[in-house]
């Protein structure tokens, strides 16, 4: 082994060791020369805090969020901010939102939030907005324009229909297969706002959009769907580099539509199955998606996790942090023109799922 390759080997084994024992040091490895325009942020989503009674909450969902917060606080160098991807609460109760925010309050640094349908449909977002402010806004950070959209709205006539109670309305939307629910949408008012917001942004400015539901159409039966997705995409089309990051689906998904890269987030609560496994139709998932491997259904944190995002050259690399499992990294490949899973994109290198359960 030449000195050079020996050095390289030692460096790589060191990196592997660090990655396996202390996954969070990976972010340090991501920083190197020319890191001036680089920054990172943590992304935590879908904790679904559930009140049982009084001050009793479902322990498993609490633990998932507590763990993500603790791990995000250990990131070194510090992320510039944290983003929370929606569904803090299970049924949108003030007690659930407060309990979730109390756990999230331990996060170091600024946290931005997007509204999830589980936060919204009991009181149409009143309590969430009271605690967290507007449900759509934008901000600029180190040359990147960030936009937050409330994508879980639906038809006004349905939202303001004759419901026995807000909870009655919430329960129609809180199911995965919500046969009495409605498709999500960003809506006319927010699209008009977005158009105006983007009007002042130069086309070579990287744009990162946060939504709760995917701003693309994946599977309507489970509301992995936003009804006016194409209209939102059209507003984003003039920009060179666009990334959409969304929660809601509780699983890893990857896609590229024209100039827009799409990445989903895992939940800290539980994983949803992939719609393709339910309907046996591969077309229910974007082709670039490499499914998560659910090897151990008896491990409560299995296939849950959180993300840290490494932004450089206007692109977002998504590092999926899976508790006690192999982390995943999905990065933009300039040659391919879309994001790829650095380890598992090639079907031959994937780990087959365990099938004994």
Distance CA 114, CA 132 (A): 9
Comparing CB distances to Fe ion, the nearer of 184 and 332 is 184
For the CB of residue 53, give the shortest distance to Fe ion in the complex, in Å.
22
For the CB of residue 212, give the shortest distance to Fe ion in the complex, in Å.
6
For the CB of residue 49, give the shortest distance to Fe ion in the complex, in Å.
11
Distance CA 38, CA 315 (A): 10
CA 314, chain centre distance (Å): 18
Comparing CB distances to Fe ion, the nearer of 46 and 310 is 46
Distance CA 118, CA 49 (A): 10
Comparing CB distances to Fe ion, the nearer of 99 and 248 is 248
For the CB of residue 289, give the shortest distance to Fe ion in the complex, in Å.
18
Comparing CB distances to Fe ion, the nearer of 117 and 317 is 117
DSSP line for 77-107? SPPSEEEE-S--BSS--HHHHHHHHHHHTTS
Comparing CB distances to Fe ion, the nearer of 248 and 294 is 248
For the CB of residue 119, give the shortest distance to Fe ion in the complex, in Å.
9
Going by their DSSP bridges, the two strands 254-257 and 260-264 should be labelled as antiparallel
Comparing CB distances to Fe ion, the nearer of 24 and 115 is 115
Backbone angles phi, psi at 94, to 5 degrees: -55, -40
Distance CA 223, CA 327 (A): 27
Closest CA to 88 of 62, 121, 116, 130: 116
For the CB of residue 322, give the shortest distance to Fe ion in the complex, in Å.
17
Residues forming contacts to Fe ion in the complex (CB under 5 A) are 46, 87, 116-117, 248
- Ramachandran region of residue 274, left (φ > 0), alpha (ψ -120 to 50) or beta? beta
Comparing CB distances to Fe ion, the nearer of 39 and 83 is 83
Distance CA 91, CA 200 (A): 38
For the CB of residue 45, give the shortest distance to Fe ion in the complex, in Å.
7
127 touches 166 (CB < 8 A): no
């Amino acid at each position: 082994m030449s000195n050079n390759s020996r050095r390289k080997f030692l460096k790589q084994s060191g990196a592997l060791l660090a990655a396996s024992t202390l996954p969070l040091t990976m972010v340090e490895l991501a920083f190197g020369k020319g890191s001036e325009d680089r920054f990172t942020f943590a992304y935590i989503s879908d904790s679904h805090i559930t009140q049982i009674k009084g001050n009793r909450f479902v322990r498993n969902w609490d633990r998932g969020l507590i763990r993500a917060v603790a791990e995000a606080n250990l990131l070194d160098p510090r992320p510039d901010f944290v983003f929370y991807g929606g569904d803090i609460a299970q049924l949108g109760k003030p007690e659930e939102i407060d309990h979730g925010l109390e756990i999230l309050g331990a996060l170091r640094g600024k946290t931005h939030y997007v509204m999830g349908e589980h936060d919204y449909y009991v009181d149409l977002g009143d309590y969430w907005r009271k605690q967290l402010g507007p449900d759509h806004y934008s901000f600029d950070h180190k040359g990147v324009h960030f936009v937050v959209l409330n994508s879980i709205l639906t038809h006004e006539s349905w939202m303001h229909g004759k419901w026995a109670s807000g909870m009655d309305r919430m329960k129609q939307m809180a199911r995965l297969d919500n046969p009495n629910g409605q498709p999500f949408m960003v809506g006319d008012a927010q699209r008009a706002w977005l158009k105006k917001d983007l009007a002042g942004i130069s086309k070579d400015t990287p744009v990162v959009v946060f939504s709760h539901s995917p701003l693309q159409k994946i599977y309507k039966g489970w509301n992995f769907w936003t009804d006016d997705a194409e209209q939102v995409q059209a507003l984003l089309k003039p920009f060179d580099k666009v990334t959409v990051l969304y929660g809601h689906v509780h699983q890893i998904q990857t896609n590229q539509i024209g100039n827009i890269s799409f990445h989903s987030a895992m939940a800290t609560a539980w994983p949803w199955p992939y719609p393709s496994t339910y309907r046996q139709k591969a077309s229910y998932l974007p082709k670039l998606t490499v499914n998560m491997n659910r090897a151990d259904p008896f491990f409560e944190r299995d296939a849950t996790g959180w993300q840290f995002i490494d932004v450089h050259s206007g692109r977002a690399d998504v590092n999926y942090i899976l508790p006690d499992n192999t982390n995943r990294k999905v990065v933009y490949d300039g040659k391919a023109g879309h994001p790829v899973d650095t380890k598992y994109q090639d079907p031959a290198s994937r780990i087959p799922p365990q099938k004994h359960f």
